[in-house]
Amino acid sequence: MQNLIDGRTISQQIHAETAQRVAALKARGIAPGLVFIRVGEDPASQVYVGMKEKKSAELGIHSVTKVLPETTSQADLLRLIDGFNADPQWHGILVQAPLPKHIDQATVYAHVSPAKDVDGFHPVNVGKLMLGDPTGFVSCTPAGVHELLIRSQVRLDGAEVVVLGRGNIVGKPMASILIQKGRHANCTVTVVHSATRDVKSHCQRADILIAAMGVPEFLRADMIKPGAVVIDVGVNRIKDSTAKSGTRLVGDVAFAEVQPKAGLITPNPGGVGPMTIAMLLANTARAAELAVAR
Ligand code: GUN
């Protein structure tokens, strides 16, 4: 369909660019290295980390995965991170969420060296994004949405954007990226959330809508302006008695009814999803480039 933003194709372009950067680093004797840390046996995390490992290898990024038991103490996890922080052969460190309940996620993310924080979760990197300091790392999913918009030639300068959701991983950094003064930003951003009084009236004004609140098929056709650009970040597992597994994945956008009214729209899957890994590996290449420059 003509109005689809093809995240698979765009992510392949970014992977090709990253592969070239990795090759250039290797030609200078530097092998970019990425550490994955997984705690416990969350099935979705196993799949996600497996996909990230595979793609790293394809691009020539050397990776190692540490799998710790569910019962690992926070102190032991922090000690493991200390070791990777101090070891120059590793340029990026990713601690896969979710973590077990007895471990405080914010403490763990603040413990990863900001220079190796390819997830962009460390407070220093979150702060740099807010300040418009380009030396930090930006959270991969909102960075990926930004790339989708740029590479689809969506006009950002002066655009009215509604971000649905105020999470630390997508909503807040997404708004920060788009409000910056400068090229590929300059948007007027409204963030709507669970306490917003009239979500629909905000959405109907938007030139660009980015749905990242984690509510299955929340954004409906009557909530958007004709021709609006719609980006669906949602990944929600819902019950479906007709599916073999008894469940299926849906986004935050009611795609079938929104797509005919939208100017451009991401399919889901095949929209935002592939961009997250692309930005992670681009961040890893940059972490290695910056380590060399230091
Ligand atoms: N869990 C789900 N998405 C992510 C991500 O982007 N990074 C990490 N570290 N964990 C996740």
Q: Are residues 42 and 75 in the same domain?
A: yes
Q: Are residues 168 and 235 in the same domain?
A: yes
- Which residue CA neighbors atom 11 of ligand 1 most closely? 97
Active-site residue list = 52, 96, 119
Q: What's the pLDDT tens digit per position in 197-232? A: 999 999 999 999 999 999 999 999 999 999 999 999
For the CA of 140, the nearest atom of ligand 1: 6
- Does the reported pTM lie above 0.95? yes
For 55-87, the DSSP string reads: HHHHHT-EEEEEEE-TT--HHHHHHHHHHHHH-
Q: Residue 293: its pLDDT value, please?
A: 85
Closest CA to 51 of 128, 140, 132: 140
Total domains, the chain: 2
- Distance, CA of 283 to CA of 294 (rounded, Å): 16
> Which helix (H) or strand (E) covers residue 24, if one does?
helix 7-27
Q: At 81, which CATH number? A: 3.40.50.10860
Q: Are residues 192 and 244 in the same domain?
A: yes
Q: Residue 1: its pLDDT value, please?
A: 62
Q: What's the pLDDT tens digit per position in 154-190? A: 999 999 999 999 999 999 999 999 999 999 999 999 9
Q: Which domain holds residue 83?
A: 28-124
Q: What's the pLDDT tens digit per position in 15-70? A: 999 999 999 999 999 999 999 999 999 999 999 999 999 999 999 999 999 999 99
Is the CB of 266 inside a 6 Å radius of any atom of ligand 1? no
Residue 265 lies in a domain: yes
Give the single-character DSSP code of 91.
-
Q: Which of 46, 63, 119 to mutate to test the pocket of ligand 1 (most atoms within 8 A of CB)?
A: 119
Q: Residue 236: its pLDDT value, please?
A: 96
The DSSP bridge partners found for residue 66 are: 37
